[in-house]
């Protein structure tokens, strides 16, 4: 059974706050706001408490926190969960901009209308798009029927002037070299010419799909492209 979830309107949308990061927003000192709730149930997800849980912080809490850190922070990463599933996100991003923050969004790409509205309003400065799986495996791995939305988001980003990256998490019980090559071929055909960041699943926590930690890894020599650079982060 696949999930179909409505946009979220909750009093406390934010599950947790990471006060400082130099790794999650290229060239920007930032904090991370982890949004509760997600419209996917990826089998390898090791944050079920975030995906299924309730938030602990309101937008007002987050703004108050950021005001105490303005001398240290240049930006905010909106991650999750899936931040674009929250109805009040645009209003919150306007508040972040009023505080002088750069905004990066980590997204699964399943709410292209929200991404478009953020871009149109000048409320997003960088996007990390999670490309979960090829079309042939997306429904199984994400436990959703949202793959066409991801394609829509990708095509919109390719036509926009928003700096963005694409990244894929690999659990080798779910994806192999052939799957990754299929994904790269699709990106090539769509006109993507950037970097595809690959991160192998590494976690000993409980996953939504009750998956073990991986014992094998993708062989980089079996993944090729003349126009896309595959960057293995681990």
pLDDT in tens, 39-74: 999 999 998 999 988 899 999 999 999 999 999 999
Number of domains in the chain: 1
Q: Is residue 177 part of a domain?
A: yes
Q: Is residue 9 part of a domain?
A: no
Q: Is residue 222 part of a domain?
A: yes
Q: Is residue 50 part of a domain?
A: yes
Distance CA 223, CA 182 (A): 10
Q: pTM, whole model, 2 decimals?
A: 0.93
Please list the rounded mean pLDDT of every run of 10 residues in the chain (234 residues).
Answer: 52 95 97 97 93 92 96 97 96 98 98 98 98 98 98 98 97 97 98 96 89 91 96 93
Q: Is residue 7 part of a domain?
A: no
What pLDDT is recorded for position 4? 45
What pLDDT is recorded for position 10? 67
What pLDDT is recorded for position 7? 55
Q: Is residue 213 part of a domain?
A: yes
H helical segments located in 24-170 = 48-52, 59-68, 89-98, 112-120, 135-142, 147-159
Nearest CA-CA partner of 168 in 153, 152, 181: 181
Contact 184, 177 (CB under 8 A): no
227 lies in which domain range?
A: 14-232
What is the CATH classification number for the domain harbouring 96?
3.20.20.70
Q: Is residue 6 part of a domain?
A: no
Q: Is residue 2 part of a domain?
A: no
């Amino acid at each position: 059974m696949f999930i179909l979830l409505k946009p979220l309107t909750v009093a406390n949308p934010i599950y947790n706050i990471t006060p400082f990061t130099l790794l999650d927003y290229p060239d920007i000192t930032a904090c991370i706001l982890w949004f509760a709730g997600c419209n996917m149930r990826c089998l390898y997800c090791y944050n079920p408490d975030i995906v299924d849980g309730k938030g602990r912080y309101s937008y007002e809490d987050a703004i108050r926190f950021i005001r105490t850190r303005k001398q240290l922070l240049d930006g905010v990463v909106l991650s999750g969960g899936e931040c674009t599933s929250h109805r009040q996100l645009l209003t919150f991003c306007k508040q972040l901009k009023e505080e002088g923050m750069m905004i990066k969004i980590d997204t699964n790409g399943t709410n292209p209308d929200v991404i478009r509205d953020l871009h149109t309003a000048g409320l997003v400065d960088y996007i990390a798009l999670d490309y979960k799986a090829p079309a042939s495996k997306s429904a199984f791995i994400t436990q959703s029927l949202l793959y066409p939305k991801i394609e829509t988001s990708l095509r919109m980003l390719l036509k926009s002037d928003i700096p963005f990256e694409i990244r894929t998490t690999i659990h080798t019980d779910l994806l192999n070299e052939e799957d990754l090559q299929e994904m790269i071929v699709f990106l090539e055909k769509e006109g993507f010419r950037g970097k595809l960041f690959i991160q192998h699943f590494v976690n000993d926590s409980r996953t939504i799909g009750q998956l073990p930690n991986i014992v094998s890894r993708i062989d980089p020599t079996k993944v090729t492209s003349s126009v896309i650079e595959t960057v293995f982060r681990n």
